[in-house]
Amino acid sequence: MTDRELGLIKANDVMLVHCPESNINLASGIMPVRKWLRHGIRVGLGSDVGASHTLAMSKAVVRAIQLSKLMKVFDPHAKPLTTAEAFYMATKGGGSFFGKVGGFEKGYSFDAIIVEDDPRIAGRLSLEEQFQRFLYTGDARNIIARFVEGRQVG
């Protein structure tokens, strides 16, 4: 995007949505997420059902991080997304488009999952390492409860 286009996006508070699986499957390029964040543009994370092969947001978080690491091929000074940044884009960052969702603060919709990990492994890992383990290797089998708007749905 040109500087003018970036200015219009920011001035109109447009949120960009990064769908990394779609970028991969369509071979449409790598979204320069770090660049947009540096310009103060809001970026959410999504899964595009038209071109993606998974709806799992945990996988979108991982792919966003992986694609940001590939940006180093084009720019050796590129700084990859952190787990915290990509997770924020998948939750509160992207959720802000819909209102008060994606966070645990008072007044926000309580949408959450409860994840169970193998206690033999989890006991040796920090909370952050357990979270990364779920993102990279976990799936629906690790989810023991789901909440939508404060009600348990599964």
Q: How far apart are CA 110 and CA 97, in angstroms?
A: 16
Q: How far apart are CA 18 and CA 80, in angstroms?
A: 15
- Sketch the domain layout of the chain as residue ranges: 3-100, 110-154
Find how far residue 49's CA is from the centre of its chain.
16
Q: What is the pLDDT of residue 135?
A: 95
Q: What is the pLDDT of residue 142?
A: 94
Average confidence (pLDDT) per 10 residues, the chain, 154 residues: 92 95 91 92 89 87 96 91 96 93 93 90 89 94 95 92
Phi, psi (5° rounding) for residue 17?
Answer: -120, 125
Q: What is the pLDDT of residue 103?
A: 92
Q: What is the pLDDT of residue 120?
A: 85
Q: What is the pLDDT of residue 1?
A: 86
Q: How far apart are CA 111 and CA 98, in angstroms?
A: 13
Decide yes or no: CATH 2.30.40.10 for domain 110-154.
yes
Q: What is the pLDDT of residue 4?
A: 93
Q: What is the pLDDT of residue 111?
A: 93
Phi, psi (5° rounding) for residue 32?
Answer: -80, 70
Q: What is the pLDDT of residue 134?
A: 95
Q: How far is CA 64 from CA 10, 22, 59, 134, 153, in A?
A: 22, 11, 8, 16, 28
